[in-house]
Amino acid sequence: MTGDVPAPDQETAKEGSDASIAAESSIPTSDSDEQQQDASSKESNLGSDNDARLEQLEKEHETLKSQYVRIAADFDNFRKRQSRDQDDLRLQLTCSTLSEILPVVDNFERARQQLDPQGEEAQALHRSYQGLYKQLVDVLKQLGVAPMRVIGQQFDPNLHEAVLREPSEEQPEDMVLEELQRGYHLNGRVLRHALVKVSMGPGPNQETSTEVADQATSVAKGEEATDTLQEES
């Protein structure tokens, strides 16, 4: 009687085939190992390249930053230097212009001292003149011009120019006695030196001069007596 049970040889062959397939699937191949190693190596190299590139970029950033700071400092110094040069040039032009105007102011002051209006018409003209002079002085004040006060001050070569020197019983040596031409400041800077007369201090004492003269006379008489004795001998 025949049944559906497989033959023993067929079952053995089937079991051997399944074991072989399982063994092949459980053991990795050498090609797969090499691919994994290559992938790991590529990832490692890529990471190293990225680190090196990042370091290079950081160095370039620091270099550019230092260059920017230096250029900004140079530009700021240039701007300040240009501003100082412009201020100096403006001041020089102002000083040059005002120096040409100051003689006109001197003439106004001389004329004011000499004028002595008597009639009504002369007084009206004098008032007009005073108005013009005051307007000129106000303009100079607005520009920062101020006159020097030198009478009774110690002589200072940075401010004054000594034109005359004379003895004085009232003022000690190197004191300003008289202002011959007014000096002016421009915002604290000397615009024009003042021409002044300076004291030499008290003159020689009269008693001292008399004593010196008597000594000279005595010496002269002594020399004459010596000459006489020599002649007699």
Lowest mean pLDDT, pick from 20-34, 81-95, 123-137, 146-160: 20-34
Tell me the pLDDT band of 9, cut-offs 50, 70 and 90: low
pLDDT band at 92 (very low <50, low <70, confident <90, very high): confident
Average pLDDT over residues 18-44: 58
- Angle at the Cα of 50 (from 49 to 55), degrees rounded to 5? 100
pLDDT in tens, 113-155: 777 777 787 788 888 888 888 898 999 999 899 999 999 899 9
Query: Considering the domain 144-206, what is its CATH architecture?
Result: Roll (2.30)
Give backbone dihedrals phi and psi of 83, rounded to 5 degrees, phi first. Answer: -65, -40
pLDDT given at position 142: 92
pLDDT at residue 195, as a whole number: 94
Instruction: Please report the pLDDT score of residue 132 as a whole number.
Output: 87
Query: Does residue 175 carry a pLDDT above 50?
Result: yes
Return the pLDDT at 127: 84
The pLDDT, as a whole number, for residue 181 is 93
- C-alpha triplet 97, 153, 183: angle, nearest 5°: 10
**The pLDDT value given to residue 72:** 92
Among 8-12, 58-62, 136-140, 171-175, where is mean pLDDT lowest? 8-12
- Predicted pLDDT of residue 15: 52
pLDDT (tens digit per residue) in 145-165: 999 999 989 999 999 999 999
| Domain boundaries, given as residue ranges, for the chain | 144-206
What's the whole-number average pLDDT of the chain?
77
Query: Among the listed ranges 52-56, 122-126, 227-231, which one has the minimum average pLDDT value?
Result: 227-231
pLDDT at 187: 87
Q: What is the pTM of this model?
A: 0.55
- The residue to which tokens 């002269």 are assigned: 220
Side-chain-side CA neighbours of 27 within 13 Å: the count stands at 8
Predicted confidence (pLDDT) at residue 19 exceeds the cutoff of 90: no
| CB-CB neighbours of 214 under 10 Å | 10
For residue 116, give the 3-state DSSP assignment.
coil
The helix (H) or strand (E) run that includes residue 192 is strand 189-192
